[in-house]
């Protein structure tokens, strides 16, 4: 068996828990930020069946060479707007991702992403940095949404 670990990412975003939850569960939003910098996730490559037992799948495309990476998961728990839990069965050991949306009651939300059974390759500094760029992309997308509302 391959060695696995745990990761936790915390980020405060300028949006309500409801907006963030919708961004994380709607293909029309996900296509704008899902995946690390240097990738795109076409809307046709996103499946969201938002219920326990439902499928969550994304296919990211490398901007550099067009190669693809598909993430396949099944939702375990869905509680709008405070919690999403999914398991990626294709990842050895079944990597579990828990996303908690914490309302800071000032127009901001802390999003805590906790992953368990994380394969060694995902624990590398490069992989963690890639995940962080996805959070940066989410921040930029939220700024765009906020500007449209003003």
- Residue 111 CA to residue 102 CA, distance in Å, equals 6
Domains belonging to the chain, first-starting first, are 4-149 (3.30.530.20)
Q: What integer pLDDT is reported at residue 1 of this predicted model?
A: 45
| Strand ranges, E, within 30-138 | 39-40, 46-48, 55-62, 68-79, 83-88, 95-103, 109-119
Which has the closest alpha carbon to 132: 6, 3, 4, 7?
Answer: 7
CB 59 within 8 A of CB 70: yes
Q: What integer pLDDT is reported at residue 12 of this predicted model?
A: 98
From the first residue on, what is the mean pLDDT of each consecutive set of 10 residues in the chain (150 residues)? Answer: 82 97 98 96 98 98 96 97 95 90 97 95 90 95 89
């Amino acid at each position: 068996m391959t060695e696995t670990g745990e990761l936790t990412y915390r980020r405060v975003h300028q949006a309500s828990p409801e907006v963030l939850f919708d961004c994380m569960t709607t293909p029309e939003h996900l296509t704008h930020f899902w995946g690390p910098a240097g990738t795109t996730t076409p809307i046709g490559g996103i499946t969201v069946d938002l219920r326990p037992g439902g499928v969550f799948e994304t296919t990211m495309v490398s901007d550099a060479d067009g190669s693809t990476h598909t993430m396949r998961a099944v939702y375990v728990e869905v509680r709008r707007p405070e919690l999403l839990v999914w398991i990626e069965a294709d990842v050895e050991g079944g990597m579990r991702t828990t996303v908690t949306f914490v309302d800071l009651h000032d127009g901001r939300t802390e999003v805590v992403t906790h992953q368990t059974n994380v394969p060694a390759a995902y624990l590398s500094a490069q992989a963690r940095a890639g995940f962080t760029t996805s959070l940066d992309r989410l921040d930029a997308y939220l700024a765009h949404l906020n500007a449209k509302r003003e």
